[in-house]
Structure 1
Amino acid sequence: MFSSTKAGFFREPTQFEQFQWSPLKYVTRALYHILSTLRTPPKPVDDAIRIVCISDTHNSTPPIPDGDVLIHAGDLTENGTLSELQAQIDWLSSLPHTHKVAIAGNHDTYLDPLSRPTLAVEDRTGSLDWKGINYLQSTSLTLTFPSHGNRALNVYGAPHVPLCGGSSFAFQYPRHLDHWTETIPSDTNILVTHSPPRNYRDNPHALPSGVGCAGLLRALWRVKPRLHVFGHVHAGAGRNYVGWDAGQVAYDRVAMKKHGGFREVLSLEAWRDLVCVAIFGLKGILTTGAWAGERKVTVLVNAATYYDGTNLDHSEKEVQVVLL
């Protein structure tokens, strides 16, 4: 049912196409997003820490709001050269945020020893001055905030993405492999990856299974961080709140299924998942405090600040700010 000529990384299929490919999946996804939007966002704690999230700047220097923490989720550059990277680092270093965290993305070629040989000879050697920016590459750090009651946040960052291009792209792994099992510490408060998890702020129509990573989604269910910042899929910029309840299980089950065409209307399991998403979504709206009954809520932020809808016409996206 899926045709890659109909939908790619940069062209969202029409609503009718999506309905044709998978009517119950289309209705379930639409219902989930409507009900999630109607739920009141979790209330931040008093004296909240202000976290500014950006990604996919691709050499640009958009206006950045003030905050306590600045997180860059990769693709600082377009061509991944040493000079491009240092220019982005210099720009980030000039910003006033107390803590700064950055990871690489698939365009940041120099930072991956495996992709670095694809650069011109003059771009393969040299060093970077990170100027106090915390660069994470499958590593963790703890940020402390004396001005916020000595609160601390554990941050884990990793640049890896499912295979999406040629050898000049960095930090790729075969799409069928699970790169994330047991790699993310269980006490992580803020997770920073370049790849989105499957189903969330992803482009589910860019490939038969979407651009995001299913293994990363499974890791999210295990760790349940308070905040997950990512990018990579420019068109997915924005945020979601995930409450990790039975309705979420049903939504993920539906979203992971292949397009079934109109024959899926005969599936009792598909109807059961649709009803489950509806019940838990309505419960979340009607419950006092909206998300208050959830054991944990994760804010998912696709922080891409660049959108290339035609690969030529570039425009800036709104910078996401999260209070924790």
Structure 2
Amino acid sequence: MGVKTRFFILSDTHGEDIPNIQHVRADVAIHCGDLTEGSKIEEFKNSLKLLRRIDAPLKLVVAGNHDITVDVPLFRKKVAEHPDVQQEDVEKVYGGFGDVHRLFKEARGDGVVLLEEGMHRFELSNGAKLTVYSSPFTPSLRDGGFHYSPEKGHDFSIEKGVDVVITHGPPRGIMDFTVYGRREGCPELLCSIARARPKLHCFGHIHEGWGAKLVTWREKINQAPSHFADIDNERSTVIEKLSNLISSKFDTPEIAEKKSKKRAKLTGEGYIKTSHCTSDDNPLEAGSQTLFVNAAIRGLSEEYPTQAPWLVDLEMPTAFQ
């Protein structure tokens, strides 16, 4: 039994304000990237205002593919491709090279930490210790921030014993199904997660994949893990998903009304909560289970344009062990 730790998780805010979050208290807030829509310096300032408003002593952030100016080599490359544009004009809109990092450095006094890819360790004010792996990288052939070729793949060096994994994109097969009928998650990320088995993996990027699932891993993991073979679906639980909230042409009037009330409740509360501690009905089995959370805030449906952030309670190791 560890220290009960509350996480407030959101992603893909794209520079927009999120209402009804000032009253939410957490030990750790997590933003899984796409803080901006066009990587403009004012959008980053707005996102930092949002993060400062969250009542949590530690606020962990990774960048997303829309946050191009955080990916300084790519930002330099894009500017060099337009020699006719004056540097001062670029800086008015996007800031100079490294300006976004300076903004985040100034925000550290408010508990905001921009995480680079890799392992990080924290001691929390509630007496818990927290081991985190973070990565902003997602597979794509486009030229967004922190993209890598799906053919070449990417090495996610997640150590065993990690408590929380924060990435911008999902692993292959878990809340990564798009409106185009494709799975866009990363297979290399799934392999690393299946081997490390963190307590929590949170991400965004695939907006229509919003939801949470408590996954139970099979006892023996294949050399090349997949969501088909290495997840015990009979012992896994979907906490919530968009299809339970958004109307379908197949819904009866009663089901449509139920979904509408559920959406209104989430909008009013400002978040959706799930808890998996020892005293809960569905406690997380460390080493055997991982809670996956897709916390993409911007919705693709007019019916539900702002999807709820997540409030998650889990037990973390005590800092004095």
TM-score class normalised by the smaller sequence: 0.5 to 0.7
Corresponding letter in the other structure for 1:60: E
Q: Please point out which of 52, 57, 62 is paired with 2:8.
A: 52
The residue aligned with 2:96 is: 125
Q: Distance in 1 between matches of 2:178 and 2:167?
A: 18
Count of paired positions = 246
Distance 1:228 1:139, change over 3 A: same
The residue aligned with 2:241 is: none
Matches within 5 A, 1:4-19: none
Q: Please point out which of 200, 214, 223 is paired with 2:196.
A: 223
Q: CA deviation at 1:164?
A: 5.3
> Which consecutive segments of 4 or more residues in structure 1 shift more than 4 A?
246-249, 252-255, 280-285, 289-295
Q: Please point out which of 205, 215, 220 is paired with 1:232.
A: 205
Q: Provide the identity percentage.
A: 26
**Cα offsets for 1:263-294 (capped at 9, x unmatched):** xxxxxxxxxx7xx98xx655679xxx777778
DSSP-derived class of the 2:133 partner: strand
Corresponding letter in the other structure for 2:90: V
The residue aligned with 1:160 is: 137
**Cα offsets for 1:304-324 (capped at 9, x unmatched):** 1111248xx871112111111
Distance 1:292 1:215, change over 3 A: closer
Q: CA deviation at 1:77?
A: 0.4
DSSP-derived class of the 2:305 partner: strand
The yes-or-no answer on 1:315 pairing with 2:271 is: no
Q: Distance in 2 between matches of 1:140 and 1:292?
A: 22
Q: Distance in 1 between matches of 2:141 and 2:179?
A: 14
**Cα offsets for 1:64-98 (capped at 9, x unmatched):** 33211100000000001222112211321232211
**Cα offsets for 1:125-154 (capped at 9, x unmatched):** 16232212111110332222343xx22011
TM-score computed with the length of structure 2 as normaliser: 0.68
Say which structure is richer in helix: 1
Q: Please point out which of 296, 299, 320 is paired with 2:288.
A: 296
The residue aligned with 2:113 is: 134
RMSD (Å) for aligned C-alpha atoms: 3.0
Q: Distance in 2 between matches of 1:195 and 1:87?
A: 22
DSSP-derived class of the 1:88 partner: helix
Distance 1:254 1:305, change over 3 A: closer
Q: Distance in 2 between matches of 1:47 and 1:103?
A: 25
Q: CA deviation at 1:114?
A: 3.1
Q: CA deviation at 1:186?
A: 2.5
Q: Distance in 2 between matches of 1:66 and 1:96?
A: 5
Q: CA deviation at 1:243?
A: 1.3
Q: Distance in 2 between matches of 1:242 and 1:111?
A: 32
Q: Distance in 1 between matches of 2:161 and 2:194?
A: 13
Matches within 5 A, 1:66-215: 66-117=25-76, 118=78, 121-122=90-91, 123-125=94-96, 127=99, 128-130=102-104, 131-132=107-108, 133-147=112-126, 150-163=127-140, 165=142, 167=143, 169-181=144-156, 183-203=157-177, 206=180, 210-215=183-188
Greater relative contact order (CA < 8 Å, ≥ 6 in sequence): 1
Q: Distance in 1 between matches of 2:71 and 2:214?
A: 32
Distance 1:157 1:281, change over 3 A: closer
**Structure 2, gaps ≥5 residues long:** 80-88, 238-280, 315-321
Corresponding letter in the other structure for 1:190: V
Q: Distance in 2 between matches of 1:247 and 1:140?
A: 25
